[in-house]
A and B are shown apart, each in its own frame.
Chain A
């Protein structure tokens, strides 16, 4: 099956710092999502980004599908950004279904 690798696995930042999270995938995909899971386990969809660049406030994401990677940028980090960031890719399975495959996530801690 498709492999999804996220880096770094762990990241510690001081409030106000910027960071870049990376997601590499082993095969061509139809779509890619970034999620944030907060310390209470809630999983929130951040971006749905099969290609190109999107921005939402302090967060932005870029996917280069031809080179099989996506980047999530966090600028001016805040303590509320702490949690785990997951990348999930979708590819077509037999039968025409598009099923997401998740990476292991990047665990981010932002200190005040």
Chain B
């Protein structure tokens, strides 16, 4: 148990569907992150939020839309995805962004398959 919970664990959707991934952290952290992990590629940072404000958007297509309503919850809204978007999506949290020495804690991920 890492203190970071992601739902759903698995998601299969068509290219025209709209779905959302959810992440919740119980660690009292102020920073949350979305990562994408594709086969044979390094983990790719997608978005970083600090105290509900987006501080980093790593050139992610607009079909991925993040939302951070409070420091404990992070969503990734998905719309009109492509087959190459099939991947493991990982959420992480840390005490803060902009202060060094803050280890990250990861959720178990959502395995997304686009048909």
Contact = CB atoms under 8 A, between A and B. Distances in A.
Contacts of A99: 45, 48, 56, 97
A48 B103 contact: yes
Residue of B2, B100, B105, B108 most packed against chain A (CB within 10 A): B100
B104 A45 contact: yes
A97 B56 contact: yes
Interface string B1-26: 01000000000000000000000000
Contact of A44 (B40, B50, B101, B106): B106
Interface of A is mostly: strand
Interface residues of A, number: 28
A98 B98 CA distance: 5
B102 interface: yes
Interface of B: 2, 37, 40-43, 45, 48, 50, 55-56, 88, 90, 92, 97-106, 108-109, 111
